[in-house]
A and B are shown apart, each in its own frame.
Chain A
């Protein structure tokens, strides 16, 4: 154990404390606040582990939007039936089991020779003596249209994942919309809610929202050559929309508007279009022609950013006014 591990040990201790608090804090609000704090610690750990993309995404999604979601849901729920006060019969034995399992895992990792020399051993990713997957990514990077490997993987080499992920977002939104059928009964109930927000909050929201939009645009542009990309940009735009909507500065995002519905499906639609076109005229499903790859990736990212931003905002703050058709 060296001095270099000190930050990791501090972060790890914080992580475990926050996780424990998020699960067993006395009140539900404490648990939620600690879960948001857990998200912040996780974002710090991603930064420490050399994954700035993940740190950005986690800070916006895991720490920000999830917190809003939980608070939003909690105030609609009845008070919690006592959880921590009740005696759990198996609590002690299951805790013992937990600690033992973790200790066994730790013992295995600490003694297994393949984990001993981190940074040198790559045998797990080497397939039958061929090049490792990261080596293949590095080799194919010049033909991918972007110069940052994570973006290249997301939007070129494994574009399938990203397309299906956009469809998962759509699926979640469709599921949420099932709970809000028909026309809203109070079409103007929400528009007058802005005076209730604190003045400080209002001015902060007015100050932060343009900055968030600017930052989102920067991350989208930056994604081609460095950490950033469609998800981080979409999450930032969504958080700007959520903030403005919560303070009443933004009118309801109406599902009945054609433009909104188009934006929601734009990303998936464009992705499918590119996939079909590359299947019909190119080398196969989602195999971009090399000279067009850069332009295609930028267009897809732009559409995906807008779709992700609108879908996430609707998922997080959509009420019957926003979601009913």
Chain B
């Protein structure tokens, strides 16, 4: 087994793990993480393939850099949609004017909340 083969298998495993969770879980945040994991698996395969030659293929690296930024912008948008949907489900307006006081909590509040 070479490093290339190891990373190709890893990439496929991470992709499938993400796909599995996407299909099996119900929590929207976990499903978003699952989609991100699938993306990471694809990136892993691309970078592993780029490493077949030395120096590594710059085109694939550039594509993955682009992909990372696109992935985070899509994730950010999806999270906003998820929170808006949750607000509607709980009977509030989708537009977070009333919720802005809640949203302006600082890190220390978050730490308080997350403390068991």
Contact of B14 among A16, A154, A168 (CB under 8 A): A16
Contact of B59 among A73, A101, A137 (CB under 8 A): A137
Is A150's CB within 8 Å of the partner chain B?
Answer: yes
- Flag B20-51 by CB within 8 Å of A: 1 or 0 each: 11011111011001101100100110011111
Task: Answer whether A115 and B72 are a contact pair too, CB < 8 Å, given A19-B17, A23-B25, A45-B44.
Answer: no
Give Cα A247 to B105, complex, Å: 10
- The number of chain A residues touching the other chain, given as a range, is 35 or more
Give Cα A217 to B67, complex, Å: 22
Pairwise interchain contact A182-B101, C-beta atoms closer than 8 A: no
The DSSP consensus for interface residues of chain A is helix
Task: Answer whether A315 and B73 are a contact pair too, CB < 8 Å, given A58-B68, A102-B12.
Answer: yes
Nearest-CB residue, chain B, relative to A181: B95
CB proximity of A146 to chain B, nearest CB, Å: 11
Pairwise interchain contact A81-B61, C-beta atoms closer than 8 A: no
Pairwise interchain contact B4-A118, C-beta atoms closer than 8 A: yes
Is A134's CB within 8 Å of the partner chain B?
Answer: yes
- Chain A residues 89-134 with CB under 8 Å of chain B are 90-91, 94-95, 98, 101-102, 105-106, 109-110, 115-116, 118-119, 121-122, 124-125, 132-134
Most A C-beta atoms less than 10 A away, residue of B24, B44, B70, B95: B24
Nearest-CB residue, chain B, relative to A137: B58
Contact of A78 among B20, B58, B90 (CB under 8 A): B90
Give Cα A129 to B18, complex, Å: 38
Which residues does A use to contact B, with CB under 8 Å? Answer: 1, 4-5, 8-9, 12, 15-16, 19-20, 22-24, 28-29, 31-32, 35, 38, 42, 45-46, 49-51, 53-54, 57-58, 61-62, 65-66, 69-78, 80-81, 83, 88, 90-91, 94-95, 98, 101-102, 105-106, 109-110, 115-116, 118-119, 121-122, 124-125, 132-134, 137, 149-150, 152-154, 157-158, 161-162, 165, 168-169, 171-173, 175-176, 179-182, 184-186, 189-190, 193-194, 196-198, 201, 229, 231, 235, 246-248, 308, 311-312, 315-316, 319-321
Closest 7 CB pairs of A and B: A149-B58, A172-B73, A118-B4, A315-B76, A23-B21, A153-B62, A73-B79
